[in-house]
């Protein structure tokens, strides 16, 4: 079967490399990119005209690795309408326009697959869709961004300031020149939206998810939580609450020593899925990288080839905003650090709290409390709030 690859960057070139070298049943017929690649071994396959791909009836599968929504959405939509299977690694495209695209795929009896959009080479979309389908998923918690995990690891292990750790991440190629999507949590937010849609059946738009990054994490708080064996990670969470609503959030979180996510460090990602039959199942590995991500893309392309005339049942419904819980009203535990407050009074105001000894300020882990209630309690104490970080739910 013939394949066209749209985008010849890191992932796209990795896809072509694997297909050329592994002797698989897929042949690369076109590579779409506006740039020139003089001397490239695939020179005869390059085109700058999308219509070459769209109108060629011998192209069965299209791989989209351009990134972003435009022109990716337009190109992918047209390919699906033309009866071509589409595979993508584009997390922004799936998170923002996934509902439209899987609907188009269904209407045209073709596949739209996106394993590489979450976790790179870590299998999670297919296991969540097929292997765990006998479960009612209760929650998903994940370290979904390798860049932020690398930065936080540097802060934890080497007492390194955020700015210094970010510079090292950029020097090593883990972070872009503009790291906003990573450090402000937008990348992780797109991924948890995709996982939430698969787990609970309704699209969730990133703009409707509360998202906090790691830029305000202080070394003092990193050191404080380390005293109880905990670590600060950027966690994406989606959970089905007892009232049927979905609690979904991306934020720094205190990961306790008892959690499987506690030891996940450097550029590694991990996704912890809790099902009512399996309980907790964790998927772990490098969440990015040329060949790791390309391997997931190629696996999807092979799946399309093997199911050329049979649609894979990957689908979810439209967003229901009324089902998204207000994160400020959901009970959680918090790490809190206060100044200008009496320790005894602070602990009395938060029943069930556990003090963290040795901190220069008053630092403790609360019992279960909503964020709204915690903020009001701190106001009533007249204290200065230095830090307030959720404790991870898994």
Active site residues: 191
Structure-block tokens of residue 347: 């602990």
Name the residue among 199, 269, 185, 283 with its Cα closest to residue 239: 199
What's the rounded Cα separation, in Å, for the pair 215 and 225?
17
Structure-block tokens of residue 369: 């409390």
Hey, CA dihedral for 60, 65, 67, 71, is it positive or negative? negative
DSSP for 274-287 reads: EETTTEEEEEEEE-
CB 299 within 8 A of CB 18: no
Instruction: Compute φ and ψ for 302, nearest 5 degrees.
Output: -65, -40
CB 334 within 8 A of CB 389: yes
What's the rounded Cα separation, in Å, for the pair 47 and 32?
5
Structure-block tokens of residue 120: 């790179």
């Amino acid at each position: 079967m013939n394949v066209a690859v749209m985008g010849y960057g890191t992932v796209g070139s990795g896809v072509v490399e694997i297909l050329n070298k592994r002797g698989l049943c897929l042949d690369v017929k076109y590579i779409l990119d506006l740039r020139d690649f003089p001397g490239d071994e695939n020179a005869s396959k390059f085109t700058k005209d999308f219509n070459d791909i769209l109108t060629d009836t011998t192209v069965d599968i299209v791989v989209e690795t351009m990134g972003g929504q435009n022109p990716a959405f337009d190109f992918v939509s047209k390919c699906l309408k033309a009866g071509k299977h589409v595979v993508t690694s584009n997390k922004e495209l799936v998170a923002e326009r996934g509902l439209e695209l899987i609907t188009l795929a269904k209407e045209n009896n073709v596949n739209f697959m996106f394993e590489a959009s979450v976790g790179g080479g870590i299998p999670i979309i297919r296991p969540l869709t097929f292997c765990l389908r006998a479960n009612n998923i209760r929650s998903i918690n994940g370290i979904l961004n390798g860049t932020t995990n690398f930065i936080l690891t540097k802060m934890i292990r080497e007492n390194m300031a955020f700015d210094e750790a970010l510079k090292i991440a950029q020097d090593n190629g883990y972070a872009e020149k503009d790291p906003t999507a990573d450090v402000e949590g937008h990348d992780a937010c797109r991924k948890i939206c995709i996982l939430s849609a698969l787990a609970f059946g309704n699209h969730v738009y990133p703009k409707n998810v509360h998202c906090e990054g790691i830029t305000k994490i202080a070394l003092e708080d990193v050191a404080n939580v380390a005293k109880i064996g905990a670590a600060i990670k950027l966690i994406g969470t989606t959970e089905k609450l007892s009232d049927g609503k979905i609690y979904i959030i991306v934020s720094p979180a205190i990961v306790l020593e008892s959690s499987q996510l506690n030891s996940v460090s450097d550029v590694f990602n991990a996704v912890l899925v809790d099902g009512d039959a399996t309980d907790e199942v964790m998927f772990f590995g490098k969440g990015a990288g040329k060949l790791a991500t390309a391997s997931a893309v190629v696996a999807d392309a092979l799946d399309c080839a093997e199911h050329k005339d049979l649609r894979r049942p990957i689908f979810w419904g439209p967003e229901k905003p009324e089902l998204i819980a207000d994160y400020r009203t959901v009970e959680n535990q918090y790490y809190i650090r206060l100044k200008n407050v009496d320790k005894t009074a602070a602990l009395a105001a938060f029943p069930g709290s556990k003090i963290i000894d040795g901190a220069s300020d008053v630092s403790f882990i609360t019992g279960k409390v909503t964020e709204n209630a915690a903020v009001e309690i701190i106001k009533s104490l007249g204290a200065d709030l230095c830090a307030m970080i959720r404790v991870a739910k898994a």
